[in-house]
Amino acid sequence: MLDTTLSGAWIIASSGLTTSSINWGDAVMHILIVALSVVVLTVSLLAYKRRRSRRYLFLTAGFFFIFISQLATFLEVSFLSNSLLIIPSIGLHLSHVFDFLTLIFFLLGLTGYAQDGGHRKTISEPFSGAQSKTSMLEK
């Protein structure tokens, strides 16, 4: 049975099996995951700064939501004794919303939808790289 309490605009749901002490092994693991997500986010920001394409922007947004999701999970584990942060208006766990947004942005970035204003390359346009078919034949 879940015990829910209202805290500001968030509902904090606990399983009733919480203890007052912090599980340090779990906390250290979440600190490492948050640190790694910061590194990946920084690399993606630098890649976007260099490339300036929508694909890199969407991938950077995906990595941002991974960071936010892992930060929320770290706060739940460390300060809320594994209680869940729930968004009351939609009744979903906060971390799951961020995970969903991560997948949406990765889908947009990786499928090629982000290129050329939503125009995807088709089979009739096989050469989308640096060389076109005519420039290869001219050599």
Could you read off the pLDDT of 110-127 as tens digits, one per residue?
887 756 555 555 555 555
In a domain, 45, yes or no: yes
Q: Residue 26 has what pLDDT?
A: 80
Say yes or no to pLDDT of 2 above 70.
Answer: no
Instruction: Please report the pLDDT score of residue 9 as a whole number.
Output: 57
Residue 53, domain member (yes or no): yes
Q: Which tops the pLDDT comparison, 114 or 41?
A: 41
Residue 91 lies in a domain: yes
pLDDT tens digits along 72-85: 988 888 877 767 78
6 within some domain: no
Strands (E), the chain: 3-7, 10-14, 84-87, 92-93
110 found inside a domain? yes
Distances (CA, A) of 45 to 4, 5, 35, 55, 57: 38, 38, 15, 12, 8
- For residues 5-27, give the mean pLDDT: 60
Rounded Cα distance between 48 and 40, Å, is 12
Dihedral class, residue 3 (left if φ above 0, else alpha if ψ from -120 to 50, else beta): beta
Q: How many helices (H) and strands (E) does the chain have?
A: 4, 4
pLDDT tens-digit series, residues 50-80: 999 999 999 999 999 999 999 998 888 887 7
Residue 111 inside a domain? The answer is yes
Partners of 129 in the β-ladder: none
Which range marks the domain in which residue 92 is found?
A: 22-115
| Alpha-carbon span 42 to 55, nearest angstrom | 16
7 located within any domain = no
* Euclidean distance between CA atoms 5 and 11, whole angstroms: 6
Q: For the chain, how many structural domains are there in total?
A: 1
Task: Answer whether residue 15 is part of any domain.
Answer: no
